[in-house]
Amino acid sequence: MTNCFHCGDDCLDGIIEYKEKSFCCSGCKTVFEIFENNDLSYYYELQSNPGISPKISESKYDFLDNEEIAEKLLEFNEENLKVVSFFIPSIHCSSCIWILENLDKLKKGIRSSQVDFPKKKVRISFSATNLSLKDLVVLLARIGYEPYISLENYDDKKAKVDRNLIYKLGVAGFAFGNIMFLSFPEYFEVNEFWLDQFKYFFRWLMFSFSLPVVFYSASDYFISAFKGLRSKILNIDVPIALGIIVLFLRSTAEITLNTGTGFFDSLSGLIFFLLLGKFFQQKTYAFLSFERDYKSYFPIAVTKIKTENGITSEEQVQVYKIKKGDRVILRNEELIPMDAILIKGEARIDYSFVTGEAEAVRKTSGEKLYAGGRQQGGIIEVEALKEVQQSYLTELWSDEVFQKDKAALFKTLTNQISKRFTLGVISVAVIAAVFWMFYESSVAWNVFTAVLIIACPCAIALAAPFTLGNLLRIFGKNKLYLKEASIIEQMAKIDTVVFDKTGTITTNNQHTICYNGLELTDEERQMLGGSLMASNHPLSRALYNILDKNDIKIPEVFQEHAGKGIESSHQGNFLKIGSANFVGKENVVQTIEKTSVHISANEQYKGCFTFHNSYRDKIEKVFSELSQNKELIILSGDNEGEKDKLKQLLPQDTAMYFNQKPKDKLEFIRKLQEKGKKVMMVGDGLNDAGALAQSDVGIVISENTNVFSPACDGILDASVFSKIGAFFRISAKGVSIIRWSFFFSLFYNLIGLGFAVTGNLMPVVAAILMPLSSISIVLFTSFCTYMLGRRLKN
């Protein structure tokens, strides 16, 4: 029987021959032609027959021509650009990912596509001029990746819970308990008539219990190992899968040949504890994913317009409290947290977080603004169309559009050890088998299989998920919110910490501000208030807080130059706010002992506001702790006005660099990395985005701010700034816990290998050692991380 070259189905309805290849239908032949004509035939080299039969009717998607229905499916629909996410059930391998991320080569109008493999989702941005939503869906269906579209529950944003792991864990636990119960007479060699009579029945009963455990509960390990080997990678699942297979085959052979009771108890126990570790990890990440929803843990705020008794005022509220119909003020560089209608002001919205397109879109009053856009320019007033969908902003934070793949550059301890461990186990098994082949050939096979059984790295596979999962949760409870667990390992390797000054080591809430210069006119004061209101720089916010907010004038034109200052105009009057050079006062001495904000109106220099900065509590203690084993650097965009004061607060060998523009900061970090340094950048997220993204670990200090910084790896609440040193210490100790877990695992393996290579591995030994190693690792990591959490809390 002939199989279709594209989908692998049997050609039952007739064979279509094309270019010496057979196809089951015209659809498969058409897809092959599409791939071939677009230089995508490599698809078939990644995996034989990876698609599914594309027998579709285009008319079934006619409902997508309905604009109202299409609008519900689209995540983003602005001018000529649309973004949509589809659930693709048939995504299952690397070739699926490859073809779906190369859709732009198949159809003009597709700009980009990203696959989320675990969720089987693809996110596609496309041009409405060249492609309709229906055309896109038909294309996906024709190449074998028909999306699942259901509008019935579209408004229910709750993600479907995948209970496969729970079912597999339940099956493994049920089988493990029963097999252990049936194995007790064998352990203690009880000589009892009825037990002896039913011994063989019990053994086959254990065999039957093991079947769903091996072929259902452990299936993910086989799939992962197969994919790793196919990609020429020896991942940690390879020796696990090998151990499971050997354990099952040898146990089956023993009861079939009546030479022993087998290792079914160890087999089911091994899989049960591995799945228990995976379940714990999944629950931890699910919990943290809920914590990363800003409504749950982070006081990210917006400025809500509040009206009481006819008096209008501003109120800082947590973003999740915004309801439909509320009026919100958005300043320069602030993220739009919900879909809204523009009420007042001229909006220039940067949707690069959503679409990857950096060009700002101009909007006028009455037009719709989408969540995820960032205002660039002056202040605007918007009305919320719906409540904030925080999970959507969380996805934006993790989007590939604006982050480099640091995870790919960093090898975790588990990845580093897995290849060596696998090669080591196989080498020991082969060497031991060869030795026994010459010494006593009848024992060689038993020794070979025994080594593979007892050296299964289940404890190694459990150590990192349990340890890092616990620490991630503990950090979150102590107000350091990290994107993922691997960042903890990266923090443990940091040897250089770079701090921004303003808004990072200084607090925005406590400033003494004095004005020196010509008196400002009423018009200038009103323009100054409106310009500062539109800015999110820490000095702008601090100065705005002390000004009279009555009759402020919102500038008609507003532009903020990062690291320099603000330009604004209103009814023909021009204002500049910022550094002395920026406002045109060239002869001001830059080394004055205070941080200053200078003002010029209509090209006339007016004067400056001088700030007496207030530094964060316990800053001397924090820097003293960090300086013991890390190089400390201050990298500031401000002048050297407070250099002498900083010298008194900081350790003597702390390097300080001032007047650094955002690009200068990024290049500075890069040069440190070129010297082999592992760098953490700690900033306020405003002018430090490039440096945060470039650093090995980027942490934003947040003080109830509404400036959203997806370039960072974590967000530290300003109230726990003094705990930075403790977070570093606990990260290092967390990695030490993993290493000690590996050591204990190796200890158990060496004991087991001693029994295995000498040909003395009895089922009872395997039954004790294998679960014991897993249980001890779980208890050890849980206890140690619990103690670390208590220490951090105190």
Q: What is the pLDDT of residues 572-583, one digit of tens each?
A: 889 898 888 888
The per-residue pLDDT for 243 is 76
The per-residue pLDDT for 709 is 61
What does the block give as tokens for 381?
């007033």
- Look at 52-56, 139-143, 497-501, 763-767 and tell me which has the smallest mean pLDDT: 52-56
How confident is the model over 298-316, as a mean pLDDT?
71
| Res. 211 pLDDT band, cuts 50 70 90 | very high
- Classify 612 as helix, strand or coil: strand
CATH of domain 470-504+615-731: 3.40.50.1000
- Indicate if the pLDDT at residue 129 is higher than 90: no
The per-residue pLDDT for 633 is 92
The per-residue pLDDT for 118 is 65
**3-state DSSP of 140-158:** HHHCCCCCECCCCCCCCCC
Q: Strand pairing of 347-350 and 361-363? A: antiparallel
* pTM score, whole prediction: 0.61
Which residue is it, tokens 């064979």?
15
- Indicate if the pLDDT at residue 447 is higher than 50: yes
CA atoms within 13 A on the CB side of 318: 10
- What distance in Å separates the CA atoms of residue 547 and residue 596, rounded to the nearest whole number? 16
How confident is the model over 725-751, as a mean pLDDT?
85
- Burial of 383 per CB tally in 10 Å (0-12, 13-18, 19+): middle
- Looking at CATH, the fold of the domain delimited by 62-156 is given as Alpha-Beta Plaits (3.30.70)
**Percentage of residues of the chain with pLDDT beyond 70:** 73
How confident is the model over 75-97, as a mean pLDDT?
75
- Classify 776 as helix, strand or coil: helix
- Looking at CATH, the fold of the domain delimited by 296-397 is given as 2.70.150
The per-residue pLDDT for 155 is 45
- Burial of 437 per CB tally in 10 Å (0-12, 13-18, 19+): middle
CA torsion sign, 619 to 622 to 628 to 633? negative
- What are 162-170's contacts with CB under 8 Å, separation 24+? 165/275, 165/278, 165/279, 165/282, 166/279, 168/216, 168/217, 168/219, 168/220, 168/275, 169/217, 169/272, 169/275, 169/276, 169/279
CA atoms within 13 A on the CB side of 652: 0
- Indicate if the pLDDT at residue 732 is higher than 60: yes
Longest dimension (CA), the chain: 109
- What are 663-668's contacts with CB under 8 Å, separation 24+? 663/690, 665/500, 665/635, 665/637, 665/690, 665/691, 666/690, 666/691, 666/693, 666/694, 668/498, 668/635
Kindly give the residue spans of alpha helices, DSSP state H, lying in 231-381. Answer: 237-257, 264-292, 294-297, 352-355
- Burial of 45 per CB tally in 10 Å (0-12, 13-18, 19+): exposed
- Burial of 151 per CB tally in 10 Å (0-12, 13-18, 19+): exposed
| Res. 153 pLDDT band, cuts 50 70 90 | very low
Cross-strand partners of 776: none
CA torsion sign, 363 to 368 to 372 to 378? positive
- What distance in Å separates the CA atoms of residue 10 and residue 24, rounded to the nearest whole number? 7
- What distance in Å separates the CA atoms of residue 694 and residue 677, rounded to the nearest whole number? 12
- What distance in Å separates the CA atoms of residue 114 and residue 124, rounded to the nearest whole number? 7
Residue 563 Cα distances to 331, 582, 662, 700, 744, angstroms: 17, 10, 7, 17, 52
417-439 pLDDT per residue, tens: 666 777 777 788 788 888 888 88
595-630 pLDDT per residue, tens: 788 899 888 888 888 877 678 888 888 898 898 889
- Look at 213-222, 675-684, 720-729, 753-762 and tell me which has the smallest mean pLDDT: 753-762
- What distance in Å separates the CA atoms of residue 333 and residue 616, rounded to the nearest whole number? 25
As annotated, the residues of the chain forming the CATH 2.70.150.10 domain(s) are 296-397
Closest-CA residue to 463 (of 714, 779, 729): 779
The per-residue pLDDT for 293 is 40
CATH of domain 506-614: 3.40.1110.10
Report which of residues 333 and 370 the model is more confident about.
Answer: 370
As annotated, the residues of the chain forming the CATH 3.40.1110.10 domain(s) are 506-614
- Indicate if the pLDDT at residue 768 is higher than 60: yes
User: Are the beta carbons of 548 and 560 closer than 8 angstroms?
Assistant: no
**Sequence-ordered list of residues with C-beta below 8 angstroms from that of 539, at least 6 positions apart, any chain:** 502, 595, 597, 611
Closest-CA residue to 503 (of 326, 301, 716): 716
Report which of residues 19 and 204 the model is more confident about.
Answer: 204
How confident is the model over 21-49, as a mean pLDDT?
59
As annotated, the residues of the chain forming the CATH 3.30.70.100 domain(s) are 62-156
- What distance in Å separates the CA atoms of residue 434 and residue 445, rounded to the nearest whole number? 10
Buried b (16+ CB within 10 A) or exposed e, 439-457: eeeebbebbbbbbbbbbbb
As annotated, the residues of the chain forming the CATH 3.40.50.1000 domain(s) are 470-504+615-731
224-280 pLDDT per residue, tens: 778 777 766 666 677 778 778 887 888 888 888 887 777 788 788 778 877 876 776
Average pLDDT along the chain: 76
